[in-house]
Amino acid sequence: MSATQSVYLEEEGVYRFHMEHPVPAYLVALVAGDLKPADIGPRSRVWAEPCLLPTATSKLSGVVEQWLSAAERLYGPYMWGRYDIVFLPPSFPIVAMENPCLTFIISSILESDEFLVIDVIHEVAHSWFGNAVTNATWEEMWLSEGLATYAQRRITTETYGAAFTCLETAFRLDALHRQMRLLGEDSPVSKLQVKLEPGACSHQACAWDPVDATHPSGLLPCLWLAQAGLSPHEGVNPSHLMNLFTYEKGYCFVYYLSQLCGDPQRFDDFLRAYVEKYKFTSVVAQDLLDSFLNFFPELKEQSVDCRAGLEFERWLNATGPPLAEPDLSQGSSLTRPVEALFQLWTAEPLDQAAASASAVDISKWRTFQTALFLDRLLDGSPLPQEVVMSLSKCYSSLLDSMNAEIRIRWLQIVVRNDYYPDLHRVRRFLESQMSRMYTIPLYEDLCTGALKSFALEVFYQTQGRLHPNLRRTIQQILSQGLGPSAEASTEPNAELARAGAEAGSDSAALLLGDEAPSSAISLRDVNVSA
């Protein structure tokens, strides 16, 4: 349990847990299963199913203590006693969750080393930003996520250097801009301070008017919405907050603040004082910004909060991309080869010999380099068929031997380009991956394109092994875009339509079901740690 003390009373068969600090309800978490512990540091152990324990231990032994110590040097003492990690089965619906004393993390991430490192460090950073000082309202979730992402990158800079940190940041900011293109610059989720939709209904095909009537479920009083002066379309569904704006636009704002004070170490000192002042309480953005201006009186005097075009108010309330982005030139030794290779493969006409010759050594690249390269190819898809053929010849077997974060991207390229010779790899991947983070994006792509019947076939073969919530989401993806006549015409489709209707009773599974398909895809596509 996410608790500072736990005792097992053997005679009674009872576990007792105690949390000595006040924490918000969302950080109370309990896990039960066939879990065995192994020490990985003086105050850390991993818990995992016995078959996973050796891998988990070997990947994290010693390093977690390194990350905790780096964080302590930056932001002050770790205040939760133990920092343990529990690995959960692939069906765990999110990548990782920062429950105090016991980070929850999905075991699927174990094979992708660099992602594992970043995800755990992010959760370590939440021990200060999120768990100790918490956002008072979900409408300002960026306070936890933006600050934790900033702290995570300070820790990786201290531990692995600026180049690696800039690479990882470039990779994520690329994803942020992708999400922006899909949603449009005026999307309400792109604000840091979002307005939640207090009464909106996530039931598919529900005609409930929140201003007018009580919801059929008896929940969610409509008056609230009317009093708040909101129309049903102005607000944001809380399920949509785990988007890249909350994380990366939030990060950019915090980074901008650090630039204003001119010295990242002075900014660390400020954050340390901020944690000390507000620990074990909940805050709003104004608390952070007031503290910032009070800590740097010279900046307050210069009215940095009102600089034209970069007003704090605009950072918080404008839709669209970040008003300023970090300088990532220190990562160029790692990002430049990616850009060069991408240029070669997308040159018109394709210089086959040059492109193939340069295929050399991506096997020595960092995972984030390869992922960035593949993401850019994905953005450019569909690609000319000859390019896809050559790419497949150069990379397909090589990428197949790499980790899942890389394989999923290559397979999405295969699907978005309808490249049938590599389709057997997609099937094999979907037969072995049972986690949401890897199955959903592939099913989305399969169903958007011409491969829906292939998707149906794979789904029928694997559905028995999927978590019920994931199964319902995939059923919903498979049934999207089926008109009434399509639903009636063939049996499997009718069955899917029924399954979709059943899913309506489970709002967690529905998640984004009432969105337009494009925004549903773009938000569901993003895998973030909490």
Q: Which residues pair with 36 in a beta bridge?
A: 48
- Could you say which DSSP state residue 259 is in? H
Q: Which residues pair with 189 in a beta bridge?
A: none
Q: Are strands 102-106 and 96-97 parallel, antiparallel or unpaired?
A: antiparallel
* Of 148 and 521, CB closest to Zn ion: 148
What b/e string do you get for 74-103 counting C-beta neighbours within 10 Å, with b at 16 or more? Answer: bbbebbbebbbbbbbebbbbbbbbbbbbbb
- Could you say which DSSP state residue 384 is in? P
* Of 94 and 206, CB closest to Zn ion: 94
Query: Cα Rg for the chain, rounded, in angstroms?
Result: 24
* Of 124 and 355, CB closest to Zn ion: 124
Tell me the CA distances in angstroms from 279 to 11, 267, 415, one per residue in order.
38, 18, 48
Smallest gap from Cβ 26 to Zn ion, in A, equals 12
Residues 430, 81: Cα–Cα separation, whole Å: 40
Mask for 401-440, x = binds Zn ion (CB under 5 A): ----------------------------------------
* Of 53 and 94, CB closest to Zn ion: 94
Task: Report the site for Zn ion in 31-70 (rule: CB under 5 A).
Answer: none
Smallest gap from Cβ 16 to Zn ion, in A, equals 29
Q: Does 254 bind Zn ion (CB under 5 A)?
A: no
Structure tokens at 497: 């339509």
Is 123 an active-site residue?
yes
Contact 147, 197 (CB under 8 A): no
**10 Å Cβ neighbour count for 443?**
25
Mask for 191-230, x = binds Zn ion (CB under 5 A): ----------------------------------------
Smallest gap from Cβ 479 to Zn ion, in A, equals 32
Residues 6+ apart with CB under 8 A from 119: 95, 96, 105, 109, 529
Tell me the CA distances in angstroms from 55 to 47, 61, 285, one per residue in order.
11, 10, 40
Judged by DSSP in three states, 349 sits in coil
* Of 142 and 267, CB closest to Zn ion: 142
Mask for 146-185, x = binds Zn ion (CB under 5 A): --x-------------------------------------
Smallest gap from Cβ 530 to Zn ion, in A, equals 5
* CA pseudo-torsion sign 518, 524, 528, 529: positive
Smallest gap from Cβ 433 to Zn ion, in A, equals 23
Residues 6, 22: Cα–Cα separation, whole Å: 16
* Of 226 and 526, CB closest to Zn ion: 526
Smallest gap from Cβ 122 to Zn ion, in A, equals 5
Smallest gap from Cβ 164 to Zn ion, in A, equals 19
Smallest gap from Cβ 246 to Zn ion, in A, equals 9
Residues 274, 74: Cα–Cα separation, whole Å: 12
Residues 97, 123: Cα–Cα separation, whole Å: 7
Residue of 98, 114, 123, 145 marked active site: 123
Q: For residue 39, which phi and psi values (nearest 5 degrees)?
A: -70, 140
How many residues touch Zn ion under the rule CB under 5 A: the total is 2
Mask for 111-150, x = binds Zn ion (CB under 5 A): ----------------------------------x--x--
* Of 148 and 194, CB closest to Zn ion: 148
* Of 148 and 466, CB closest to Zn ion: 148
Q: For residue 31, which phi and psi values (nearest 5 degrees)?
A: -130, 140
Residue type (1 letter), 186 = D
**10 Å Cβ neighbour count for 227?**
10
Residues that bind Zn ion (CB under 5 A): 145, 148
Tell me the catalytic residues: 123
